[in-house]
């Protein structure tokens, strides 16, 4: 076996060829490996223990930060005059004023863009590029709902597979038209008319089951909603069920205090 020298005590010992070939520190025993090296402070001359990794990180070694500061202060090649200090203060003041101007400029720019579309702000080509970039960021595995991650029983809105159940045979187009006529051809939650819904969604107003039972298609269990409000009614079901039941009972939903606070978020 090859002979190597201990980095701590200087003793020669036999080591495996794999360690002898590598450029690593070799120690004859665990005691030598765990012993901290003794260094001499370059400022005060004091002996102190240190870590081996710190020895390789710096060319100069000191026992404390105080000695390090005194040593570097003595090696300084220049001194700060009052003119230098005044110049540094002016530079710092100019940076502060620039940052303040930048914040005010961005604030005014943000206020001016309120109500503007992305095409009006960036132009059609740039807006299309931004939308395509966002779309690509959500394709495939990048989408948290991709594949079976949030499908079926893993989804927080899972209700036992009710969406796959068929509707009642009485729930036909004639019944839907009757409910639309009864509700004045408008969404009873946001007030969108059927003409507006056809223009925006290219479809007539939808009919929603109040108790979420597809087999219960009596008129008192149906209400006219737009597509967005119908999707929104699938969450917080107990609240929407009480709300629509109050409308069927003849109570104006928009006069209910809880409803007013709810409609502000629509």
110: its two tokens: 């943000």
Please check the confidence at residue 24 and state whether its pLDDT lies above 70: no
Mean pLDDT calculated for residue range 104-120: 87
249: its two tokens: 């009972």
Residue 210, burial from CB neighbour count under 10 angstroms (0-12, 13-18, 19+):
buried
The pLDDT-based confidence of 104 (bands split at 50, 70, 90) is very high
**More reliable by pLDDT, 163 or 36:** 36
Give 199-217 pLDDT, tens digit per residue: 988 999 999 999 888 888 8
Other CB atoms closer than 10 Å to residue 40's CB: what's the count?
A: 13
Report CA-CA distances (Å) from 97 to 85, 91, 103.
19, 10, 10
Q: In angstroms, how far is the first alpha carbon of the chain from the final one?
A: 81
Give 149-161 pLDDT, tens digit per residue: 666 777 767 777 7
Q: How far is CA 234 from the centre of its chain?
A: 26
Mean pLDDT over each residue of the chain, to the nearest integer: 82
| Torsion sign, CA atoms 196, 174, 207, 260 | positive
32: its two tokens: 């030598």
Please check the confidence at residue 143 and state whether its pLDDT lies above 80: no
Residue whose entry in the numeric block shows the structure tokens 């101007």: 101
The pLDDT-based confidence of 257 (bands split at 50, 70, 90) is very low
pLDDT of 60 reads 85
**More reliable by pLDDT, 145 or 224:** 224
Distance CA 34, CA 52 (A): 10
> How many Cα atoms within 13 Å fall on the side-chain side of residue 207?
24
pLDDT of 261 reads 44
Q: What residues have CB less than 8 Å from 266, skipping those under 6 apart?
A: 189, 190, 229, 232
Give 56-94 pLDDT, tens digit per residue: 778 888 888 888 888 887 776 566 788 888 998 999 999
pLDDT of 161 reads 73
Q: Please report which residue ranges of the chain form alpha helices under DSSP H.
A: 17-21, 30-34, 52-57, 65-74, 82-112, 118-122, 124-136, 173-182, 194-201, 227-232, 237-248, 257-263
pLDDT of 39 reads 87
**In degrees rounded to 5, what are phi and psi of residue 251?**
-95, 130
Beta bridge partners of 39: 48
For the ranges 20-24, 213-217, 249-253, 255-259, the lowest mean pLDDT is seen at 255-259
The pLDDT-based confidence of 252 (bands split at 50, 70, 90) is low
Distance CA 91, CA 202 (A): 61
């Amino acid at each position: 076996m090859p002979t190597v020298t201990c980095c701590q005590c200087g003793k020669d010992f036999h080591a495996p060829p794999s360690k002898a070939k590598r450029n690593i520190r070799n120690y004859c025993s665990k005691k030598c490996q765990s012993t901290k090296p003794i260094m001499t402070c370059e400022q005060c001359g004091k002996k102190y223990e240190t870590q081996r990794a710190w020895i390789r990180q710096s060319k100069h070694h000191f026992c404390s930060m105080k000695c390090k500061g005194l040593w570097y202060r003595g090696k300084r090649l220049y001194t700060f005059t009052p003119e230098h200090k005044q110049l540094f203060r002016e530079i710092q003041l100019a940076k502060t004023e620039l940052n303040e101007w930048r914040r005010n400029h961005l604030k005014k720019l943000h206020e001016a863009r309120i109500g503007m579309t992305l095409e009006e702000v960036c132009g059609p080509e740039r807006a299309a590029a931004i939308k395509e970039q966002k779309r690509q960021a959500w394709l495939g595995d990048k989408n948290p709902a991709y594949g079976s991650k949030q499908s079926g029983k893993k989804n927080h809105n899972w209700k036992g597979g009710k969406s796959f159940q068929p509707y009642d045979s009485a729930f036909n187009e004639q019944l839907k038209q009757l409910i639309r006529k009864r509700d004045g051809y408008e969404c009873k939650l946001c007030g969108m008319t059927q003409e507006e819904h056809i223009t925006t969604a290219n479809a007539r107003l939808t009919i929603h089951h109040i108790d979420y039972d597809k087999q219960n298609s009596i008129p008192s269990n149906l209400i006219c909603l737009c597509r967005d409000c119908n999707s929104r009614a699938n969450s917080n079901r107990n609240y929407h069920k009480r709300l629509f039941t109050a409308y069927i009972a003849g109570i104006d939903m928009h006069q209910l205090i809880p409803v007013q606070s709810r409609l502000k978020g629509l």
